[in-house]
Each structure stands twice: as C-alpha cells, then as structure tokens.
Structure 1
Amino acid sequence: MDSMMDKTRARRVRMLWASTALALGAALAGCSGGSEDTSSGGTTPSPSPAPTPTPPVETLALGACEASGKGTDYQVGPGKTYTALDQVPWESLKAGDTVRIFYSSTPYKGKFLVAAQGTQTAPVRICGVRGPNNERPIIEGNGATTRSALLNAYGNTAETQDIHQTRSVIVVKALANGTYTDYPTWIQIDGLNIRAAHPSYTFTDASGATKNYVQFGACVWIDRGQNILIADNEISDCQMAIFSRSTDDGDFMVTKNVRIAGNYLWGHGIAGSDREHTTYTQSVGLVIEFNRYGPLRTGALGNAVKDRSAGLVVRYNRIEGGARSIDMVEAEDFPVTATALAAYRSTFVYGNQFKKNGDDGSFFHYGGDHFGAPAGANWGESLFRQGVLYFFNNTVHGTGANARLFQISTTLERVEAWNNVFWFDASVTSLNLRQAENDSLSTSYTPDGILNLGVNWIRSDWTDTDVWHTLKGQVIGTTNLLTGSSAPFDTSSFVPNASSTIIDAGQAGPSAASAYGVNYQLDSSYAPVARTVKGAAIDLGATER
C-alpha cells in the first residue's frame, strides 16, 4: 500500500514532470585541484580523453493517465470495456494507443508483452489511473494469467516461448511472429504497482500451463527497444525490478534512450545470490533519476544499481542497501557496439543520496568485473570502461564496521570526485577511500585505478586503504579534503547542519562536466524539487541547506 510519504512524493513528481524541462545548465567549469600522490606505485597512465556526451535535456511531461487522442483508448478496470489484462489486444497496439489501467481493490493478476512501435509525437502509453486514496493499480505476477493470443508473440518455439514468459511480468520485445529486425519504440509505462515475480511464485502461461518464474528475471524486462520510459511506478518482490538487454547482433538489438525515473524500487534479489540486482541495465543512453531504491530482499547479495551501459547518468536518486550502491562495469553482451562509442568512456553520477552497510562491499565500483584476459583478448580488461567516472555533489552515509568507497578496476579508469560528503557512523572503524581490485589481473594491466579528489568532506580518521593491501594506482588531491568527527548533515533529511563547513564550500569541477548542472535535489519525501544555490557557492553534497 502507498504510504502518505509516497503519495506526497508521487504528486510532486507528476507536478514537476508536467511543468518542468529537465535541462541542465552550465554550472561548473575549470579543473579540480590537487597533485598529491599517496600511492606507492609511482606514476601511472591516465585514460585517454574522450568527447563528453551532451547531458540529457528531454522534457518528461508526465501528466495524468489520459488518452492521447492519437490512437485507441483501451480502458481496463471494473465496469470498463476490459476487466482483465489478458483481454487487452497487446499484440495489436499501435502508435498513439493508450492502455489505461484503472485502480481496483483487487490486484490485476496478469502478465503482458509490449511490442508496439510508437513515435515521438504519438508514443504508446500503459499507465495507471489512481484510486480514491492515490493508490496505484496493482499488477500482480503471482497467480497471473497470460493472454493466449500472445503465445506465438513470445517465441517461435516452445523453448523461446518459455524463456520469455518465465522471466517477467512485463516484457518489452518485438513480436516473435513479426519481422526479425523489428523493435518496440517510444514506449511509456507509468503509474503502476508492479510486483511478485520470483521463483517461488507461479503463473499461467499463454498455453494454459502453470509455470514458476526463473531465477534470472525482472518485473520489467526490456529485451529490445528504443526510447523507453519507466516512470512513477512502485516495483517490488521480483528477481530484479528492471532489466535491459543489448547485443551486438545489430542496431535493432541495442536498447537505446532508456529512462528509469521517479520509481520506488524495493525488495528484489534472490537470497544467497549475487547475480540479481535491483536494476541491471545494458543500454546506450541510460538515465536513472529521481528514484527511490529501497533495500533488497533479505539475504540477497546483489547490488542496488548494476550497469553495463554506454552513456550512463545517475542523478537525484535515494539509493539504499546493496552489496554495492552502483556497480559500473564492462559491456558484457554488446562490447563491439559499446566500446565504439565515446559515451562509453564517460559516466556521470551526481546529486544522489546513498546509504548502505559498508560490510557488504565497496560503495562504488567502476571499470569491469571479468579479469585475467591476456593482451589482445576480446574479453576482460580490454572491454573495461577505460574512461572517467564524474562523481559530484553526492551524500554518502555508511553504516556497519567497514567502509571502502571506490573500487577502480585498472589505471585506465579514473574517478573525478568533488563536492561530495562522506559520513560514516561511529560503528565504522575502518574507513578507506579505496578498495584493492582483483589481484589476479594479467601483467598487461595495472589494477586499482586513479582517484582524483577535488574538495570533498570526509570523516577525519579516513585512510587510503586497509592495512593488508598496497594499491598500485594513485589517489591525488587528498589535501583538498575537508574533515570532521561528527556528521555535517542531518542523517535523516540529508540537509546540511547550520554553520557546517560543507555550506558554500563547493568548487568547480572538471571542464568535461561543466554542462552537467546540479539543478534538483530530493525533499523529505524523496520527491524532486529545484535546487537553488543560496550562498556564495553550492553546498557540498546532494542537498542545499
């Protein structure tokens, strides 16, 4: 059920999106300072510069769930033309069509496939019409039924039909009985409560058979598609919330321009497994913004955000839990496509609130996760990001006993970090800037990467790494760090404390990130609000006082 906080947040999200273009102004210029080398490895190479991608500026304009007037209005709900999801002709949706799912006190136990080809001016929208208390209509995977007419749309063989049906509640993919190179375009799924796809749950497939969900799947699985918006949903109790897939089989198999925005994602993963995450994405042009990531399922070992994309932007989110907060690694399934793009070499993470137990793993991993490739191999280190992670105006709250902030794969990866706040509870007795990377790396690559620090605030008893490791990369600019022994912000609201040294302490970042302004922040209900600099300079962290 929606809490009062969630209701308030949803209203503010919709108001913001309906009235505000998410344009990013030029706010930062220049370079972060510092030249101190505290490593023992001497001089190490820096990544080759790559052109900086243009920031996302598209207006979301997420209004009420109403028919667009440019296609058919499919209404689903009590007393409507369609009373169940399996009655909707999903296989026939066209540009401009709207599927409006009205709130019902009884969850809709249904699964479906979206294959339509919308346009920019006439997208295909599947949206929820809220109930009297602002409740989202519930799409329930446990006990769901599937439209029989979708059987051949899921796959051309019994095996492929089974694969695509057992993975998800909602799948975005081309019709298997259509043209092979087709792919869905301009699809919007918003305002729904999507839940309950887990191996312990069953559903009825399109042939009428009862099946269990497989372990590696998601509530929403984007198998292929371009210009996909997943927004303002609550997604819970699945293997993963959202998965996007890309391969090198052709442009039609690359998911592009995917936005995951304003959702509440929680309770995902598989107990005892580190392979399933809250979101797991492989796309070109991916924006993750304004979301609230709640903790994973009890016992799950996955990450909050796992990404293998080119052109990743993660901004203005509240991200809790996970083995890692964000795991940014190589493009495993579409390396030829990804490594040819300049956007693969630049990743932007800013304006986020992070909270997790540091004992579960490093907070931020950048580079790759398949090690030991010899020179010239078409796997492993040669496919790593080999670029720059721009990490700024984030606030991190660590719990547990240990904290390892950045894990940087090789010296061909660099992290530029400025205007951040890193606070750790008193229980954290080992506070490290960096974690050692895999020791089994081949001799062709040098592990541990480069961390270049502008002005940041961190608890005063920090160290570079633990006493058991000597890192081979570099940390630069430690003289720029501001330190203290108590939290400089309210750990509930993340608002800077009055008279804190983080107020007005922000500095300009690298010129390559100058177009990425910090224009929003999250309020106490995790809703986005405009961020205005109130003093001589921007405050450190994700929230302006």
Structure 2
Amino acid sequence: MNWQTTTRGVLCIAALSILAACGGGNAGSPQPRKKSTPVAAAPAWSRPSIRTGGGHQKQPVTNFGFVGEDFPNLRESRTAANCDPAHPDNANFAANVIDVGPTQSLTNLTQVAWESLPAHTMVRIHPKATPYNERIFIVTGDIKVCGIRDANGARPKISGLNGRVRNSSALQSLIGTPAQEYSTVNRGIVAIARDSGIRNIAVEGLNLTATMSPPYSGDDHAASYIGMDNQPHLYNNHTGCLYVSRAQDVTIRDNEFSFCPVGVYVISRGLDYGGDHYLTRNFMLEGNFFHDNGLVDDYNVHQAYIQGVNFIVQYNYFGNPIRWDIDNSGTIDTDEASNGNDLKMRTVGELVRYNYFENGAHAIDLIDIEDFRPSVFPWLFDLLADQQPAVATAAARTQMQRDWAKYDAGSYMYGNIFRRDEKVHEQTMGASMVHFGSDNSPIDGRRGTLRFYFNTIVTSLDKHSSSGAATLFSCCLDNADSYVYYDGNLVLDPNQVDFRMVVGGKNYGVVRRRTPNEFWGRYIAVNNAVQVMSATNTLANAQPFHWNTYKGEQIELRRNFVTSNWNQPLWTGYPTPGYGDNEVAIPDFSYPGAHDMHHVTGAANLLVGGLALDVRTTAPLTGSAVCNQAVAWTNDIPSAVRPNYQVRLQDNGAGGWTPGVLVVSARSAHTTLGASQCN
C-alpha cells in the first residue's frame, strides 16, 4: 500500500488489491427468498429419530473466544510492505536475497528456481515499465516474495494472461500438470502450495491481475497460461490471483488483486487428510486492495475465499466486485454485476477489523467450516479417533479443544466501514451485509455471539419495492439440510431439542440443541452508526433498512445510531417495517417459536436522527449526532479487542472518494458511534 502522511498526521493507506472468489461447489450462498406472507413448510421427508443417551456437555467456563492470543507476533497497527533485508521484521528472510528486474542478473520470474529455494530467502521484484508475465510458485518454507515500488509509488504488476510457468521437472512434481483440473499449476498467478504443508510465507507489495477474460461472466471468462510445454492451457474455472493450499504462518500484505474469479483463494484440509499440517493456520490478510474480482451474475465466486484457523483480516479495501456491459448496450445494468461476496470465511478464530467493504452480496460471509470439520468439532474428532486412531493423538485432541472453544464462542467484528449503493447486483440488494451462520449445514453453523461494534454502515439505494431491504444481518440459508449433509447419521431426539450424531449404532453425543440460545449464532450490535440514504444521498425515497433477515435471529441492539427513515415498510402492508420476516424451509433447523415473530430486541436503545456522516469519507459531520453518544464498555468485549485505530475514506475533491485508500489514525477515545471518532 502507499502510505502518505496527511497534514493532520494520520496515515493514508492506498490499497490496490483484488477481492477473492471462492471455488465453486458449496462455496457459494444462494440468497434467501423474500416473502410477504409466512407459509408453513410441508416437507416431503420424515425426520430420522432414535432414543439415545450421553453426549457432549457444555462446560461452565468463561470463553471469550479468539482475541488474537495465540496468533504469533500479532500487531494491531497497520504495517506496509517491507523489502529491506536489513529490517528486523525480515530477519527470517535475510540469509539469501534474490533480485529480479530489468537491470538485475535475473530479468524474469521463470529464472527463479522456485522448486529449490532454500529457507530464509527473500525474492525481491523490482519495478518494470511493463507487467511481468510469469507465474510464481512458493513450494518451500521460510520464503518472502516482495515487490519494490517505482518512483511513482506503483507496485510491480504481474499479469496472469498467458503467464509463463518455469520449465522444471522438479517443480512439476510439486505443482502437477495441466491435465489435472485441480492441480496447483492451473490455479493462481502466485500459488503457495505443497501437500505436506509449508510455513512462514510472506507475499507483499505486488499487483496481481487477470486470470480471466471479458466478458467476465460465469460461463464466458476463460483465460490461459503458458505451460512448461510452451503451449497454452486454461486456468481452473475459479482460479485466484493468489492461491494458498495448506500453509501455516502466512502473511499477505499490501498487494492489489484484480480481474480474477477469486482475488485470494485459501483452502485447508484437516486431521482426516493426514494431520494438522494440512490445515491453513495463522493467516494475516492486511492492507490489500481488492477490486473487479468475481464473475458477472455468478454467486459461487467471491473477492476473497478463505478457510482455516486463526485469521486476522485488517486494513483491507474491498472495492466493487466485477461489473461488465455483457449485452454491449453502452450501460452496465443492475444485473451485469457479480453477485458473489466480498469476503467469504470458513474459518475458526478470526478478527475482522478496520476494513472497507463495498457492494458484495454479503460484505462478510462468516459461515460453517467445510473441509476440516474433524479438526474442530468434538463429535467428528471422536469418530475420527475410532476410524484413524493414529492421527487422533492426545496432542491433536488438545489442539481440537482449543479451536473448538474459539468456534463455540463466536467472533468480534469492529472498526469496519460497509457501503451498499446502486452498483450492487439487483438480486443481492436484500442479501445481508454480514452473514453469520451457515450455508451448508445448520447443525455446523456458527456458534456463540457475533459482537459487532464501532462499525459504520452507509447505504445509498433508491426505493425498490420488488427488491429486498438493505439488511445488516442474516444467519442461514433457508433450505439447507443437515440430515443430508451428515449422510443420514444425524438424529433428533424424541424431546425435539437434542440433535445427536449416531454412526454404526454408536452415539457420539449431542451436537446441537434446538433452543433460542443455542441453535443459531446470536448478535450483539453496539456503538455502530447506520446512515440510510437514497441514491442521491437524501433521506427521502431510500430503500428501507432491516436489522435481520430471518425471524428467528437473536439480535440484541444496544446503543446504535440509525437515520430516522430506517423502518419504512418495504411495500404497502409489509408487516414488520425495519425487520426481516423470512423463515427457514425445514422446521427442524430452527427452534420452537422462531417463526412466531422477529427476535430483535433493544430498538428503544437506538439513537435516531438525520444525516450524520459525510457520504464521501463516512467520517462524522461537524456537530454530528453520533458524537459523544457511545455507551461504556461491558465485560463481554475484552480489552484485547477494543479498537485502538480508526478508519475513513479519502475525499477525492470531486464529490467522491479515492478508490483503494483508507485513512488510518490512532483512536484515543471511544465516545463516537461508528468507525471514526469525532474531531
């Protein structure tokens, strides 16, 4: 990122990066259906039932979840790309420095022996007048790849279109061949991958662009690279600008990602794959600029798709996902945009703070884990212990218990800015900005509480009665079926409360309970600022705002600011203005009484008023109603996750804001509602 010092001494981040897509299959979340009249579900199936006993009991201990305590060398302050081998931060990468550039001994990236780089190596990529057109494969540990900016502050650009792969049989043995659809060679301009797992990897200061071609639609975006045989080969359909497969202690910092189906694509495996080293763990995604990623009219790919344990996502700028004039009309219509997410997270232990999110279907999709469930869920670990005792060791059980405690506690999300305007795909206007729950399996969905505080939400949408409201939270996918996902091994007790997993006649205990406090994840929203506007930034004719999507979501509103137009009816006769009225389709996957009414409480605590935020920077206006209104801290938000920094956008002097730039400064007080403190 570019760093600038403003006249008031704050740091200005220019992040030029790409929003990552997820990779197909169940990774996408179809949007919930809106309905005006609740309809009782009439499923055509009969639920499995069995009388069982025993089970996993909740322990009466305080569990605050992940607050960064076991993330190595964690910094809350913003850090820029650093290519100086003499800097203390680069001590692990200083033993061997390789320079690539027009005036260096190596002039292109295929000359780097990626397959045999020794540990503690830094590869420095120097400025170049034209883009590099080669690909990078990091397959050994303790490696840093770092881009050096030119005199104008531009990062070295690497284009994936016809990007060349180094010709090396040793490298091929590690990254596979083009004939293997999901091999590493088919995925990513930069790929961090090796089946045995590698550690201590950093990628900083690069501009990675283009692993897809116009018109960038779901069925028409193919792009090629040049393989070791000197022939063109197609990238994987959902490839990333940057692809990470099973690595630990990874830093992705101060890069730009654009024009890829997925900007950053991170996958994980678990103990059932062979060991904890197959799981991506300790991952820093910091200060990157994502834009123009995803596919037009495709909800299966996203600007960033990440899986694993212990993720810090901070100071990133998620600009608009891809939009394109598919029909060549001269205008980009509202259905000619991506309907994927900005950030999709199948993670355990995460902090999402100090970011900017723009116009994803979900800005943040924080949902059930998928490919490493036995590493985290006690009942699946116990099953693995019966089936593969060699990998379910005592040490692995201890690690599982630590990670389960994080998942079971919930998550913290603070200091972020969310914007939704008329560039969002028309079908996803009503999708929640924050999804905390599940899309594959309600039983596996997010647990505990999402604590959402000191965030700023700005919507600029004209009234569309046929589209969903501008919605903050959602928990679910309305027709997801855990009975199917568990291959018939999930049963509901006759008490209609306890779900158990029973495999081969063995009861592995209660895995989830159908109660208001335990079935779905819950939300606490406090000290946030919400400004609801029309497309011309007025209070009149604005698309209504909803706190929830599904009636059964348990949302506690403490002090928050919201403009006075928030609770207008979505259409004439809409029954619950300000609140969603969706219901899940399969009754078993909600709790009794969930659909009787909405379960949002605390509306009396809201501070309601007129326009309070600058529509360009999202900072408070002079004399704003959000100033000096925040309520005091409570013990459910530990001091380790209370914001010490604040973010806003940069006024571009022409009625808008500067894309890719976050202005960051210290936050010495917590008296203002939202992501930015009043002056």
Please indicate the TM-score interval, normalised by the length of the shorter structure.
Answer: 0.7 to 0.9
- Give 1:245's match in structure 2, choosing from 260, 267, 282: 267
Give the conservation status (yes or no) of the 8 Å contact 1:154–1:160: no
Render the CA deviation track for 1:294-336: whole Å, top value 9, x for unaligned. 0000121101111110011110011111111111110011122
1:499 aligns with 2:627: no
Q: State the Cα deviation string for residues 476-520 of structure 1 (Å, max 9, x = none).
A: 211111111x22111111111222221111123442322211111
SS in 2 for 1:343: helix
Q: In the alignment, is residue 398 of structure 1 matched against residue 512 of structure 2?
A: no
Residues in 2 aligned to 1:138 and 1:90: alpha-carbon distance in whole angstroms: 19
Match of 2:287 in 1: 262
Aligned positions of 1:315-330 closer than 5 A: 315-330=353-368
Partner of residue 413, structure 2: 349
| Cα separation, partners in 2 of 1:236 and 1:291, compared to 1, 3 Å | same
- C-alpha distance in 1, partners of 2:147/2:320? 25
- Deviation of the 1:279 alpha carbon: 0.7
**CA distance in structure 2 between the partners assigned to 1:260 and 1:9 by the alignment:** 23
CA contact 2:547–2:580 (8 Å) conserved in 1: no
Question: Residues 81, 385 of structure 1: CA spacing in aligned structure 2 closer, same or farther, 3 A cutoff?
Answer: same
- Candidates 162, 177, 180, aligned match of 1:143: 162
CA distance in 1, matches of 2:260, 2:417: 24
For 1:13 and 1:151, the matched residues in 2 are separated by 42
Contact 2:81/2:204, CA 8 A, preserved across alignment: no
TM-score calculated relative to the size of structure 2:
0.66
Which of 173, 189, 193 in structure 1 is aligned with 2:203? 189
2:67 maps to 1:54: yes
The secondary structure found in structure 2 opposite 1:309 is strand
Aligned counterparts of 1:167 and 1:472: Cα–Cα separation in 2 = 46
Q: How far off is 1:87 after superposition?
A: 0.7
So what's the TM-score if we normalise by structure 1?
Answer: 0.82
Q: Distance in 2 between matches of 1:489 and 1:277?
A: 29
One-letter code of the match for 1:64? N
Provide the alpha-carbon RMSD of the alignment. 2.6
Aligned to 1:540: 673
Query: 1:234 Cα shift?
Result: 1.0
In 2, are the aligned partners of 1:139 and 1:195 still within 8 Å (CA)? Answer: yes
Which is worse superposed, 97-106 or 333-342?
333-342
Answer whether contact 2:418 2:456 (CA < 8 A) is retained: yes
Distance 2:102 2:132 in 1: 11
Equivalent-residue separation in structure 2 for 1:492 and 1:61 (angstroms): 25
State the identity %: 26
After TM superposition, list the pairs within 5 Å mapping 1:97-496 onto structure 2. Answer: 97-118=121-142, 124-149=143-168, 150-155=171-176, 159-160=179-180, 163-174=183-194, 182-198=196-212, 199-248=221-270, 249=273, 250-298=275-323, 299-339=337-377, 340=400, 341-345=404-408, 346-357=410-421, 359=429, 361-370=431-440, 380-400=441-461, 401=463, 402-409=469-476, 411-426=519-534, 427-436=541-550, 448-461=552-565, 462=567, 463-466=577-580, 474-484=599-609, 486-496=610-620
- How far the C-alpha of 1:158 sits from its partner, in A, is 5.9
Give secondary structure in 2 for the equivalent of 1:151.
helix
Runs of 5+ consecutive residues of structure 1 not aligned to the other structure = 16-45, 119-123, 175-179, 371-379, 437-446
Larger radius of gyration: 2
| 402-411 or 257-266: bigger deviation | 402-411
List runs of 5+ in structure 2 lacking aligned partners.
15-57, 213-220, 324-336, 378-399, 422-427, 464-468, 477-515, 535-540, 568-576, 584-594, 651-660
Residue 428 to residue 148, structure 1, CA distance change in 2 (3 Å):
same
Give the total of aligned pairs.
Answer: 476
Q: d(CA) in 1 for partners of 2:241 and 2:314?
A: 19
Q: 1:468 to 1:184 in 2, by over 3 A?
A: closer
